[in-house]
Amino acid sequence: MTIRNTQGLTVWFTGLSGAGKTTLSQALEKLLMARGYRVEPLDGDVVRQHLSKGLGYSKADRDENIRRIGFVAELLTRHGVVALVSAISPYREIRDEVRRKIGAFLEIYVNAPLEVCEQRDQKGLYQRARAGEIKGFTGIDDPYQPPLAPEVECRTDLETVEESVAKVWREVEAKLAGG
């Protein structure tokens, strides 16, 4: 397979925990790789274990975590890689800051109602947050600010993974083609 020499792009999946960000990112990664694009996933949970280890969950720490992810995504994008970021990134202002710095950026709002996210929660995080064991949990006692004008909104409670990925792919393909 030939690797395409292409303009880089950051595809930023944002939404509540359990909305489907990682699932959609992984499906898009397979699609891009099958078409010969250089792709690098940046999963919020993985980045937190390595690049942002030691940061807490205050607003300042969350913003710093997103800045760090954005910095890596910007480097990858600048070097012709499609960076697939899946991170809750709850605050609109920091997402907008990262968008401005990167430039070649698509914001994907992975939207599922809180009740659906709680039903999908395999780690029991929402239950622990509701019990008061986790403080500052996004969607429970810390806000999530949805994007005002995302390039794509995926309603993962109403769409299949394939339907959502198809919508994202159309935007990615257009952006990589210079559109």
Q: Could you state, in order of their start, the residue ranges of all structural domains in the chain?
A: 9-176
Q: Which residue has the higher pLDDT, 125 or 73?
A: 73
Confidence of residue 1 (pLDDT cuts 50, 70, 90): low
Say what the pLDDT of residue 45 is.
Answer: 80
Confidence of residue 102 (pLDDT cuts 50, 70, 90): very high
- b/e code 148-166 from CB counts within 10 Å (16+ = b): eebbbbbbbeebeeeebbe
- Judge whether residue 4 has pLDDT over 70: no
Query: One-letter amino acid identity for 4?
Result: R
CA distance 82 to 116: 29
Q: Nearest 5°: phi and psi at 25?
A: -60, -45
Furthest-apart CA atoms within the chain: distance in Å: 52
89 has catalytic annotation? yes
Burial of 105 per CB tally in 10 Å (0-12, 13-18, 19+): buried
- Judge whether residue 2 has pLDDT over 60: no
Give tens-digit pLDDT for 113-151: 999 999 999 888 899 889 988 888 898 988 999 999 999
- Judge whether residue 5 has pLDDT over 70: no
Pairing mode, strands 39-43 and 82-86: parallel
SS3 110: strand
CA distance 97 to 99: 5
Q: Which CATH class is domain 9-176?
A: alpha beta
Say what the pLDDT of residue 73 is.
Answer: 97
Percent of the chain past pLDDT 90, that is, above it, reads 73
Name the pTM for this structure: 0.92
Q: For residue 147, what are the contacts with CB-CB under 8 A and spacing of at least 6?
A: 14, 92, 95, 107, 109
Quick one: the chain helix, strand, coil %, rounded to 5? 45, 15, 40
Which one of the listed residues 25, 86, 89, 164 is annotated catalytic? 89
